[in-house]
Structure 1
């Protein structure tokens, strides 16, 4: 870590201590001035150390080109990030700019915590003209621009190439859930302590695709877009497959965390976001590849592009500098070369063309290109969607562990979801 980063970390620690002692006024934390003409903005994100290392390099570039703006940084793992962010927001001290996602835009937008960046676009401080595949609209909610994408990803099946080859199965566009289930059965009958697939019954985004293939969706603008009977079938099918020894048991999956079951060598296949392949391949010597989502009818996958975004605090005292920072992070080609696909496929043409993907990144780029014609608009997420997602994962975890029945789990989920969504 550079000496400047060390100084910044020390200042963050001191600032956190002052907040704990109640010595900072509630509204004075959203950026400041050094008194020497330099504006200071705070930037927070979630992710592991590898992401932090890359982002710090991009900040060094930004500060070199914008010597009048200093960026103080902070990052945590996903859960810790949102715990800290909510505490800061409640105290009137959120970061000036922070990593966000589509699931949180409406929630924090309705709480008036996010800056509408449309004014900065009109002022020429933020350029959205070079975004790929309609991503310039990804952060719009009710006419407000509440986030700007820094990467794009879509769902996929990460699979063990050797395991599928031994089973004589080739995942290809148009394959069905029945084809997938047959592959899982073949593979599960092979080597000991190796299962055909991970148990992804609690993954909200996968269930959303399954519903979209049937003309439904996990969310509507008003709430849930499926019934208790729908969910009983989804969780019931996964529970039966798990009991039949086709899916990785919950206990084994927990034991290998933070690795995934597929990168830990327990599973031949796992549904997840395509950019996770970068991490998965770094965790295993097995050859992994990306396969298309199985379908109901051989055609419709229900897929859409999602993205990590940068959002600005509505309390920032420096909206122009924050917009300049976001503009640099999404448009500068050198930033694209540094970040690669750590946060998904690069969002603008300038960055996408500047970066030459290799290894896992090349597989991700090829996969996203192959599914472009199948992509649909993303399902709107209502306020409370993050709480619903957490409940979906947690309650299914209890079902998978055998501590909650499918029927009880479904009833509990609908109760918690209705409370979270205010319906």
Structure 2
């Protein structure tokens, strides 16, 4: 079976990377307190300038309500954020508070990088009540509270409505990969825009494809849950579609990064987290919509709810203030109004009730209501996931560029992944 092969194209330009390196050099050394007793926290996240604008508004609101705490902020796109964070945490200079996800909890928890927030909950500096759909447990690992969700989201097909209408396809529950591929090929053959981007290196997408086959990217024991033959089939099928012009060439996708191929008008569809429609809708004039993943059997998508979270640094000098900051960001209704669904459907009932979704936010809310019966439990992601995810994306990029064969890429990935998961 050939399955979808799209996702995020989250690489920054050289100028952005240079800026990130500058921030790294300036940011090392931890937080501190001013001579007047003011506490300074450092807060970092991944995302684009639109997310930064919203987050900085929430930080200003926090500082207004907590005049004894100053918050310094910085951000990068996803891949560069984690490269920077790996260097910071290894050198003892990670930010006091930072955006996190399930992929990194066990890895950085095992390295004692993440602050256990449990004592702060007991001290009533951080509340864990009022979360939606059991999300209050999303950041727990081995009895420790290592993160608190700010939003919950799931994967989706984000697509150009006009292009799919011209192809005569209405993406909906129960549609199959064959139907999806027929639409992609029809759009591409019409000339101009391609039906989809070539993003077969997105770990989360491949995980869902595997789950539809009763497998998963990782087993419950923290090992790879698929074989070399499985990956050869996945990458061979996707590379063949790049070669025959069905998918966006990797070189063109790289040229528009960090924009997605969909937002840049190169592709008519892309698989990603549902909340990305908020960002991408702001980057294109085309009408975008959300649809469930195509299926193998007409029923199972393999989808699950994941979370963007906030974590504290284990070596912060100000654990109480970190907890107060996180509490404010996940519970304050005004923060919910400001952020909307930029990081997914708001995690707490208070914030969700304060925000009236409209436009792309309304699409996300309606989509998650529609696919609620498709959602399954998420497979825990083991320590080493960050290395494995980066290797999967990087090596597929080499394959898509034609600088590495599929066979060589598969062997290289398994070698790097197995080493990462053993260490």
Q: TM-score, normalised by structure 2?
A: 0.90
1:41 maps to 41
Instruction: Give the Cα separation in 2 of the matches to 1:178 and 1:334.
Output: 45
| Equivalences, count | 401
User: SS at 2:345's partner residue?
Assistant: coil
1:381-392 equivalent positions in 2, closer than 5 A: 381-392=381-392
Could you report, residue by residue, the CA deviation over 1:149-180 in whole angstroms, capped at 9, with x for unpaired residues? 11111111011111111111111101111111
Over 3 Å counting, the alpha-carbon distance change for 1:84 and 1:393 in structure 2 is closer
Instruction: Give the Cα separation in 2 of the matches to 1:69 and 1:17.
Output: 20
1:74-89 equivalent positions in 2, closer than 5 A: 74-89=74-89
1:100 maps to 100
The reply to whether residue 272 of structure 1 matches residue 267 of structure 2 is: no
- 1:304 positional shift: 0.8
The reply to whether residue 188 of structure 1 matches residue 184 of structure 2 is: no
Over 3 Å counting, the alpha-carbon distance change for 1:166 and 1:17 in structure 2 is closer
2:350 maps to 350
Over 3 Å counting, the alpha-carbon distance change for 1:333 and 1:415 in structure 2 is same
1:135-174 equivalent positions in 2, closer than 5 A: 135-174=135-174
- Please say if residues 334 and 351 of structure 2, whose CA atoms lie closer than 8 Å, have aligned partners that are also in contact: yes
1:44-83 equivalent positions in 2, closer than 5 A: 44-83=44-83
- 1:124 positional shift: 1.4
Instruction: Give the Cα separation in 2 of the matches to 1:346 and 1:371.
Output: 17
Over 3 Å counting, the alpha-carbon distance change for 1:15 and 1:400 in structure 2 is closer
Range with greater deviation from structure 2 (398-407 or 268-277): 398-407
- 1:16 positional shift: 4.8
The reply to whether residue 230 of structure 1 matches residue 230 of structure 2 is: yes
- 1:36 positional shift: 2.8
Instruction: Give the Cα separation in 1 of the matches to 2:197 and 2:142.
Output: 37
The reply to whether residue 286 of structure 1 matches residue 289 of structure 2 is: no
Could you report, residue by residue, the CA deviation over 1:184-233 in whole angstroms, capped at 9, with x for unpaired residues? 1222221x232221112111111000111111110123221111111111
2:361 maps to 361
- 1:354 positional shift: 0.6
- 1:335 positional shift: 0.3
Could you report, residue by residue, the CA deviation over 1:258-287 in whole angstroms, capped at 9, with x for unpaired residues? 221112222111111111111211221111
Unaligned runs of 5+ in 2: 1-21
Over 3 Å counting, the alpha-carbon distance change for 1:14 and 1:380 in structure 2 is closer
Instruction: Give the Cα separation in 1 of the matches to 2:26 and 2:333.
Output: 38
2:201 maps to 202
Unaligned runs of 5+ in 1: 1-12, 20-28
- 1:244 positional shift: 2.7
> Which has the greater radius of gyration?
1
Instruction: Give the Cα separation in 1 of the matches to 2:299 and 2:236.
Output: 25
Instruction: Give the Cα separation in 2 of the matches to 1:203 and 1:79.
Output: 12
Could you report, residue by residue, the CA deviation over 1:95-124 in whole angstroms, capped at 9, with x for unpaired residues? 211111111111111111111111211221
Over 3 Å counting, the alpha-carbon distance change for 1:35 and 1:146 in structure 2 is same
Instruction: Give the Cα separation in 2 of the matches to 1:75 and 1:238.
Output: 32
